[in-house]
């Protein structure tokens, strides 16, 4: 599975804690992240993560493009609901596209943990049948 990992600044410690705890599951999959999130995850866990641009510089849109091509299977996005972000339109677009393409999306730690356990039980294996498909 292709998994996107994203966290706003006040949630960076959470995503590092999360990816450390779930490394045994995550290391079986192809990981992608926005720039700074990916850097911190790689430094803390040693996981191999494909880094895009930083979120405010287009990283969210790069991940959104993969979603639109059915080339992303899950998004773990620990967003900060209490801090205004300069790239709010990009964030909204990414979340909207996750719903358009019915991509499992976690915007907080609790939901992220549920998705990790579901992933590990094989409950998302259906995603392999939609890779690369475009809507008719
Ligand atoms: O702003 C972000 C997502 O909207 C995260 O970007 P960074 O991982 O580069 O901090």
Encode pLDDT of 2-11 as tens digits. Answer: 999 999 999 9
54 CA from centroid of ligand 1 (Å) = 5
Q: What digits encode the pLDDT tens for the residues 66-98?
A: 999 999 999 999 999 999 999 999 999 999 999
Distances (CA, A) of 43 to 7, 37, 40, 93, 109: 15, 10, 5, 29, 20
* Contact in structure between 76 and 12 (CB atoms under 8 Å): no
Instruction: State which fold the 2-71+82-130 domain adopts.
Output: Rossmann fold (3.40.50)
Which position has the token pair 């992240």? 33
ipTM for the whole complex: 0.98
Cα–Cα distance between 25 and 29 in angstroms, integer? 8
Instruction: Write out the two tokens for 114.
Output: 């549920």
Choosing from 60, 86, 98, 105 the residue with most ligand 1 atoms within 8 A of its CB, the one to mutate for a pocket test is: 60
Q: What digits encode the pLDDT tens for the residues 13-61?
A: 999 999 999 999 999 999 999 999 999 999 999 999 999 999 999 999 9
């Amino acid at each position: 599975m292709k998994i996107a990992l994203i966290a706003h600044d006040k949630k960076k410690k959470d995503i590092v804690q999360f990816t450390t705890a779930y490394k045994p599951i995550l290391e079986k999959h192809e990981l992608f992240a926005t720039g700074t999130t990916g850097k911190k995850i790689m430094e803390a866990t040693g996981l191999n993560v494909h880094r895009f641009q930083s979120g405010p510089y287009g990283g969210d849109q790069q991940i959104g493009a993969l979603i639109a091509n059915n080339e992303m299977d899950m998004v773990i996005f620990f967003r900060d609901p209490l801090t205004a972000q300069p790239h709010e339109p990009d964030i909204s677009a990414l979340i909207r596209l996750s719903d358009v393409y019915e991509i499992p999306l976690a915007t907080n730690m609790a939901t992220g943990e549920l998705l990790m356990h579901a992933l590990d039980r094989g409950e998302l294996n259906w995603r392999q049948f939609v890779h690369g498909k475009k809507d008719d």
